[in-house]
Structure 1
C-alpha cells in the first residue's frame, strides 16, 4: 500500500513539474505583450505609451520604412507638430519622440509618419487623458465579506481562536501520521 502511495506521489510530482516546465518554456517564446519591439507591427506606427497625459513624452517606431530609412512624424492632431524619426537600435526600425503639449485635451489622436524613401504612410493612435483620470482608485473603508469579526475586536478572543485552530491542525496532522504508519485511529 505504501509503495502505491509513493508511486502516485512521484507521478503527481513529475506531472506538475512537467507542466510547470512547459509553461515556462512556452512563456519564453511569447514575445513582447505591448507590441513595441522588433518586428512588431511592420506596417503600422507603434505609439508608446499609447495613453499619455498633457506634458508627457511619447515614443513612436515603425519598421515600415525599411533598413536605414528615416521618416517624418506628424503629431499635429494633438498639437505637437512634426518630428523626425531616425534609424533605431533595432535593424529596419525608425524611431522618434515628441512631447504632448500641456494644452492638449483628452481624446484619441492619430499620429502619422511618412517614410523618406518611397513615401509610405503609417499611423497609430494616442489616447490623451488628464492626470486625474490616470490615477489608480484606492479603496477606502471596510468591505463586508462575511470573513472575520466572528470573535470580535478583542485581542484575547482573537488569540484564543488562533490557538484553537493551531490545536486542531496539530491534531489532524497527528491523526494522519498515525493512519499513514498503519497504527489505526
Structure 2
C-alpha cells in the first residue's frame, strides 16, 4: 500500500479561498488587504461627488484618452500577504491599452496609469496599506483624497514599498497630474 500525501493549505490560501467565495450584499465592497477581509458599505453622496469631480476633470482635460472603472478589482502586491485584492474608487488606464476589455473580476494592474482613493470609514487603509500595495505593484500614480484631513495627495515614482515623490495640498488648491495626464485638478469642490 502506498501512502498518499496531501498538501496542507496555508492560512493565506484558506483566507484567499474564503474571500473569493464571499457573497457580499448588493452595493458592498469586499477587499482582501494584508490578510484581512474588509467589507465596506455603499459610499455616501459626498464621497461619490469627489469621485465624479476627479473623473469629469480627467476625461475633459487629460492629454491622453483614458478609460475609467469605479469597480475594477485589482490584484496588487501585498506585504505580509502574497496578494492583496483591492477595489479602488477609481482606476484609470490609457484607452489605447483597452485593459478592461475581457478582464477578469480581479485583474493584474499592469498598464494601470492611476488609482484613486477617496477616504471614508477606514481611512488608514487608504493612507498606508493600499498606498504601499500600489507602490509595490508599480502603479505610477496614486491620488488620495483625504476627506478627514481636508487634503489631496498625489504619490508618484513608486520604488519598493512606497512612492518616492509626494505632492500634497489642502482642498481648494490645484494639483498637477503629470504625463500621461498632463492636466491640473481643481480640488475646490472636494470638501
Q: Which has the higher helix share?
A: 1
TM-score if structure 1 supplies the norm length? Answer: 0.26
Q: Which has the larger radius of gyration?
A: 1
TM-score if structure 2 supplies the norm length? Answer: 0.25
Q: Which has the higher strand share?
A: 2
